[in-house]
């Protein structure tokens, strides 16, 4: 039997950062290792800046029997358009979708007649099981982790068990993407806006987060699962030897959840004389960080760490389920900065019942801190999150498209929506238009051209209400 053609697509997006599509790459490598009956191609429309017409040409040229599409919630409209294009070219093609959007809203997604199956949750195993069933005409209805239309309704048998031993997963299919597109493309190859080297890629060394933040999708579950330090080092060496990678961005949910493991990774990087610049755009929790780990990360090549602070109101911290020790977090920010690591943080305003006073306290905390950078977002109740459930329960209009966390989609705070937007722009002004902070940034950021570009983006947000990196 000849191999079947499978086309995996990441839609285009307004999002500026474009790390490699690790989800699709893991799907591809796992399928190749366990079911070698498919010829697989990955099309990353985001890095290619493809139009729908370009995607249509790709589908026509490749003529896939199966099409898999991943999407964030903000890109869901593009996903549905690609599904429609796929069916218009070849009605018999099977369209399978996955990613955060699908996991959160498979019921909504399956209203689209152009979508045949949804992958819900961690994708490797259910996708493989589904492709095997489709290939050999096996029973589909009992497969865990997929949703489909069935007898006028929707059939979903619950989430597939997570992969417990992540070392059993093959490395992402790096050979199925054109890495030069990410190294020298029009968009950033990392979530990190101040990346040092062009030859930079993202890596995931763990999955899952044991914390209960109400705004988070938490696709990989509450249990922290980690690759062994040796397995992580093996992939880093591979990326250096095969692709001359110079910089790594870890995209873990909570990299420092296991301190001993994190330290071991750092020590192996030093011992193996691995020369990489390292950044953490997210996934590092401040209240479980300490100076010992900061020093180890610095020794391993880390130059940037972002912490999720969100709010400095103890009341809001409790209601959002984060319960961060703010006093300790402030100390960690200062220690990170003291060790000459670019220190950034994420903040959110607009949580349910949050007052203007509480928002201004958060803004002041950020402005007065030793942080080099900060991002201020509007708390957005995306489907599939506890925040969405609360919004729905309280009667807020959640039947809409959520395009960005920088705009007021659903206002659950105690201040008017217009004022909430103004407070966000005030936050950027107060934080960045500080001569001392500007100087500290100038000194610490190696690429001054990148620094200038980012400053222009901040000006757009602070004075023209544009979206950050939009």
pLDDT in tens, 100-132: 889 888 998 999 999 999 999 999 999 999 999
Q: How far apart are CA 238 and CA 146, in angstroms?
A: 33
pLDDT of residue 465: 58
Least confident of 71-80, 83-92, 228-237, 259-268: 71-80
**pLDDT tens readout for residues 412-467:** 999 999 999 999 999 999 999 999 998 998 888 888 877 777 778 777 777 765 55
Which among 134, 156, 178 is the end of a domain? 156
Residues 402 and 255 in one domain: yes
Q: How far apart are CA 426 and CA 429, in angstroms?
A: 5
pLDDT band, very low/low/confident/very high, at 184 (cuts 50, 70, 90) = confident
Which among 100, 135, 156 is the end of a domain? 156
Residues 223 and 335 in one domain: yes
pLDDT of residue 406: 63
Asked whether residue 27 is domain-assigned, the answer is yes
Residues 322 and 412 in one domain: yes
Residues with Cβ within 8 Å of residue 5, at least 6 apart in sequence: 38, 39, 41, 62, 63, 64, 65, 66
Q: How far apart are CA 389 and CA 217, in angstroms?
A: 12
Supply the pTM of this predicted model: 0.93
pLDDT of residue 400: 59
Least confident of 87-91, 287-291, 421-425, 463-467: 463-467
CATH code for the domain of 18: 3.40.50.280
Asked whether residue 180 is domain-assigned, the answer is no
CATH code for the domain of 342: 3.80.30.20
Residues with Cβ within 8 Å of residue 222, at least 6 apart in sequence: 208, 209, 210, 212
Least confident of 32-46, 336-350, 371-385, 440-454: 440-454
**Domain hosting residue 284, numbered range:** 188-464
Residues 341 and 387 in one domain: yes
| Distance, CA of 216 to chain centre | 11
The token pair that represents 313 in the structure block: 């109101």
Asked whether residue 321 is domain-assigned, the answer is yes
Q: How far apart are CA 27 and CA 436, in angstroms?
A: 46
**Residue/partner pairs of 322-329 with CB below 8 Å, 24 or more apart:** 322/211, 322/212, 322/213, 324/286, 324/287, 325/287, 326/365, 328/286, 328/287, 329/286, 329/287
CA angle 470, 187, 176 (to 5 degrees): 130
pLDDT of residue 401: 52
pLDDT of residue 403: 55
199-223: average pLDDT:
91
Asked whether residue 251 is domain-assigned, the answer is yes
Our count of domains for the chain comes to 2
Residues 202 and 133 in one domain: no
Nearest to 177 by CA among 50, 25, 67: 25
Higher pLDDT, 417 or 174: 174
pLDDT band, very low/low/confident/very high, at 469 (cuts 50, 70, 90) = very low
Asked whether residue 174 is domain-assigned, the answer is no
The yes-or-no verdict on residue 320 having pLDDT over 70 is yes
pLDDT of residue 384: 81
From edge to edge, which strands make up the β-sheet containing 200-203?
A: 200-203, 247-250, 277-284, 302-310, 342-349, 373-378
Residues 136 and 206 in one domain: no
pLDDT of residue 364: 97
Report the Cα–Cα distance between both ends of the chain, in Å, rounded. Answer: 46
Contact predicate 347/360, CB 8 Å: no
Residues 343 and 277 in one domain: yes
pLDDT band, very low/low/confident/very high, at 470 (cuts 50, 70, 90) = very low
Residues 244 and 193 in one domain: yes
Residues 202 and 152 in one domain: no
Parallel, antiparallel, or unpaired: how do β-strands 117-119 and 146-150 relate? antiparallel
232 to each of 171, 203, 205, how far by Cα in Å? Answer: 10, 9, 6
88-98: average pLDDT:
96
pLDDT of residue 402: 58
3-state helix, strand, coil split of the chain in percent (to 5) is: 45, 15, 40
pLDDT band, very low/low/confident/very high, at 383 (cuts 50, 70, 90) = confident
Residues with Cβ within 8 Å of residue 70, at least 6 apart in sequence: 8, 9, 10, 21, 23, 24, 97, 98, 99
pLDDT of residue 464: 63
Q: How many CB atoms sit inside 10 A of residue 90's CB? A: 14
Residues 152 and 192 in one domain: no
Residues 409 and 452 in one domain: yes
Asked whether residue 177 is domain-assigned, the answer is no
Nearest to 69 by CA among 54, 84, 57: 84
240 to each of 106, 220, 244, 305, how far by Cα in Å? Answer: 38, 28, 4, 22
As a whole-number percent, the residues of the chain with pLDDT over 70 amount to 96
Asked whether residue 169 is domain-assigned, the answer is no
Asked whether residue 161 is domain-assigned, the answer is no
Which among 140, 156, 172 is the end of a domain? 156
Residues 215 and 101 in one domain: no
8-29: average pLDDT:
94
Nearest to 94 by CA among 102, 83, 103: 83
Q: How far apart are CA 259 and CA 274, in angstroms?
A: 20
pLDDT of residue 345: 96
Contact predicate 24/70, CB 8 Å: yes
Q: How many CB atoms sit inside 10 A of residue 338's CB? A: 12
């Amino acid at each position: 039997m000849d191999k079947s053609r499978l086309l995996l697509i990441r839609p285009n997006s307004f999002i500026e950062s474009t790390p490699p599509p690790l989800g699709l790459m893991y799907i591809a490598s796992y399928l190749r290792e366990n079911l070698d009956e498919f010829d697989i191609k990955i099309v990353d429309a985001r890095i290619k800046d493809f139009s729908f017409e370009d995607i249509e040409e790709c589908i026509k040229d490749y003529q896939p029997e199966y099409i898999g599409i991943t999407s964030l919630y903000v890109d869901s409209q593009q996903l549905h358009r690609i599904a429609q294009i796929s069916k218009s070219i070849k009605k018999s093609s099977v369209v399978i979708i996955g990613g955060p959007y699908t996991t959160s809203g498979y019921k909504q997604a399956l209203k689209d007649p152009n979508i045949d199956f949804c992958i819900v949750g961690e994708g490797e195993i259910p996708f493989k099981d589904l492709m095997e069933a489709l290939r050999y005409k096996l029973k589909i209805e009992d497969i865990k982790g997929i949703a489909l239309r069935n007898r006028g309704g929707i059939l979903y048998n619950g989430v597939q068990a997570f992969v417990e031993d992540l070392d059993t997963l093959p490395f992402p299919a790096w050979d199925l993407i054109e890495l030069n597109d990410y190294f020298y493309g029009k968009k950033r190859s990392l979530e990190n806006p101040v990346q040092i080297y062009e030859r930079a890629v993202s890596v995931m060394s763990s999955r899952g987060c044991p914390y209960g933040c109400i705004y988070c999708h938490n696709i990989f579950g509450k249990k922290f699962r980690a690759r062994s330090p040796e397995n992580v080092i093996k992939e880093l060496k591979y990326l250096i030897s095969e692709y001359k990678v110079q910089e790594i961005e870890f995209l873990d949910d909570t990299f420092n959840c296991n301190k001993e493991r994190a330290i071991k990774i750092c020590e192996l990087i030093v011992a193996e004389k691995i020369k990489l610049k390292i950044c953490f755009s997210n996934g590092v929790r401040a209240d479980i960080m300490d100076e010992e780990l900061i020093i180890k990360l610095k020794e391993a090549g880390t130059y940037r760490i972002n912490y999720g602070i969100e709010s400095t109101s103890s009341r809001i911290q409790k209601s959002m389920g984060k319960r961060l020790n703010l006093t300790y977090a402030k100390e960690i920010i200062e220690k990170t900065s003291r060790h000459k690591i670019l220190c950034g943080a994420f903040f959110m305003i607009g949580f349910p019942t949050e007052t203007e006073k509480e928002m201004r306290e958060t803004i002041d905390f950020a402005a007065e801190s030793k942080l080099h950078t900060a991002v201020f977002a509007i708390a957005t109740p995306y489907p599939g999150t506890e925040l969405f459930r609360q919004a729905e329960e309280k009667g807020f209009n959640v039947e809409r498209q959520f395009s960005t966390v920088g705009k007021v989609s659903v206002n659950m705070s105690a201040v008017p929506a217009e004022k909430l937007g103004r407070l966000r722009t005030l936050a950027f002004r107060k934080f960045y238009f500080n001569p001392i902070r500007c100087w500290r940034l100038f000194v610490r950021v190696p690429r001054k051209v990148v620094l200038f570009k980012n400053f222009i983006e901040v000006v757009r947000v602070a004075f023209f209400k544009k979206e950050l990196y939009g």
